[in-house]
Amino acid sequence: MSIQMIALSLGPAAPPSRLLALAPVDMVVIALYFAMVLGIGFYLKRYTKTGDDFFLAGREMTAWVAGLSFLAANLGALELMGWAAAAYQYGILATHWYWIGAIPAMLFLGIVMMPFYYISKTHSVPGYLKLRFGESSRALSAITFGFMTVLMSGINMYSMALVMKVVLGWDINFSIWVSSITVAVYVGLGGLLSAIFNEVLQFVLIWMGALLISIIGLIETGGWSGMVARIHANFPGGDYTHLWRTMGSFTDNPMGIHWTGIVLGLGWVISFGYWTTDFLVVQRVLAAKDLRSAKMAPIIGAGFKMMVPFIVILPGLLGLALLQPHLVGEAQAVATGGHSYNEVLPLMLARYCGPGLLGLGITALIAGFMSGMAGNVSAFATVWTYDIYKALVRKDATDAHYVTMGRWCTIVGVVVSIGTAYLVMQFLSIMDYVQALFSFFIAPLFGTVLLGMLWKRCSPAGGFWGLLAGTLSSIGMWAWVKLDPTALKYIALSTNARDMAENMYRALWSWIVCVVVTVVVSLLTKPKPESELTGLVYGCTDVPGEGHLPIYQRPVFWAGVIALAFVTLNVIFW
């Protein structure tokens, strides 16, 4: 769920001058970070000998480590800078992507879906599809996922290098090569174990580097009410601090989104699709040491996800209250020499952080980028090795052979990502298409996995044809609007809908197509016998109970606590 708006709008025409200048102590802070992540990779190599070690971290992670890693793999630098920029542009509406666009799905993953992923002992989400529906569904899912993952990795790499150029004046080639070689080394050496260790470290650094902006910003504005008063004074007539009040019409809010799009498109299909079926994040939870830890990990992740707006959205809102002159769109910024929305986080960083603290803030951005890239690369290595190479190329090799393949695949994944980064540099419009590609696959996959887990009548043919039909329908709708923009009124229910709204409604329709085709084909074809569905489907699986545990140790209790906090926050900021 990262957004590409920064690099898209910065583009090659961005001004060459840098926003920040680092002191020697800042450089030492950044250098120490690189030394530590590489050191962890070399240290962990001796602990990754088997396939389970390399691809699933030995399935020994505690709930806390798996949960923080689960969240860190998603908390990329573009996520931080992009949503801070979105908060400056759209106000608190950007919080929807952290709350309704994440929390219910994460809790659903932990309580409902995780038992099936975990008990089936699958290595990956495509691996689950193989067990549930057969080889064809796995192949379709694995190939699309692998393709998407390296493309996204390359695009993120390019975007981050561009951000470093604009913010610090660093050479794009230097940023791309140093960061990607570092990720290749530590993931190639220690596999998922190394990726998870570093993601926990990166998670801590992201918080420590970004939290200070919000704290000092609130001191400067005199707290939340002082900040709101300043925003009203700076932007009279605009509503930047309410989550739901302006959602009654497409034209009442700057995002051009109706509440049905947010609830059904973002909150249901896109969010559930991403958080419950994207192997990039699910892989971290599969590494948990037991079923209870696997269920708790997404719940712990949800608790922290709910707090991320404090370090991402709040700096954007503080920028609205404090920064003069106001920030503008990228084109206007380039024309006038001013600053754009996308620079709000580095501008706030420069506003409050002196030597040392500035290095920590930049390290947080670099850590965010590397955690996202490591997530892509380790997931790609697993899916390639187990779901493509082992399934389609060489079925009977030794475990050591697959580990070696995984290590090489990590290197190859990084090299392909670098190639993608340079390709994007030449053809910037690729980013438009890849962002759309991401939505093509996730929504239908969620329909397939959900029906597969909860409906034992769902047949192998139904699973495959539903997934294919959902994906093709999504591509078809996207092409239809590209060829005939007036089709937007059919896809997004309004000609006033913007890109984000179109994405959400397209995801919703493609999910519905997937579900309808899956159900119809399943009813017309032969299902698997129940004996083959044990451990895979609700009603055929004996999920271990938690009645013997004290209530405070039960995942469902903590899911309830997080759900209550989620509802309360939405009411408070209604």
User: Under the rule (CB under 8 A), what is the footprint of another protein?
Assistant: 23, 25, 28-29, 32-33, 36, 40, 43, 47, 58, 60, 65, 196-197, 200-201, 204-205, 208, 212, 216, 219-220, 350-357, 359-360
Query: Which amino acid does the sequence have at 138?
Result: R
Q: How far is the CB of 383 from another protein (least distance, A)?
A: 25
Nearer to another protein, 353 or 521 (CB): 353
Q: How far is the CB of 220 from another protein (least distance, A)?
A: 6
Instruction: Determine the angle formed by the axes of helices 313-322 and 344-352, rounding to 10 degrees.
Output: 70
Q: How many residues does the chain have?
A: 574
Q: How far is the CB of 218 from another protein (least distance, A)?
A: 11
Q: How far is the CB of 154 from another protein (least distance, A)?
A: 28
Give Dmax over CA atoms of the chain in angstroms: 69
Nearer to another protein, 67 or 126 (CB): 67
Nearer to another protein, 46 or 548 (CB): 46
Q: How far is the CB of 98 from another protein (least distance, A)?
A: 24
Round to whole Å and give the CA distance between 309 and 83: 9
What sign for the dihedral angle of Cα 14, 376, 403, 405? negative
According to DSSP, the residues that pair with 340 across neighbouring strands are: 328
Q: How far is the CB of 445 from another protein (least distance, A)?
A: 31
Nearer to another protein, 66 or 437 (CB): 66
Nearer to another protein, 61 or 491 (CB): 61
361 and 209 Cβ atoms separated by less than 8 Å: yes
Nearer to another protein, 127 or 217 (CB): 217
The total of other beta-carbon atoms located within 10 Å of residue 312's CB is 27
In Å, how far are 8, 164, 166, 207 from 171, measured between CA atoms? 18, 8, 10, 27
Residues 6+ apart with CB under 8 A from 190: 40, 41, 43, 44, 45, 47, 48, 197
- Alpha-carbon radius of gyration of the chain: 23
Residues 6+ apart with CB under 8 A from 239: 91, 245, 246, 253
Residue 112's closest CA among 367, 300, 299, 357?
A: 299
Nearer to another protein, 43 or 573 (CB): 43
Q: How far is the CB of 40 from another protein (least distance, A)?
A: 6
Round to whole Å and give the CA distance between 422 and 228: 42
Q: How far is the CB of 529 from another protein (least distance, A)?
A: 36
Nearer to another protein, 29 or 300 (CB): 29
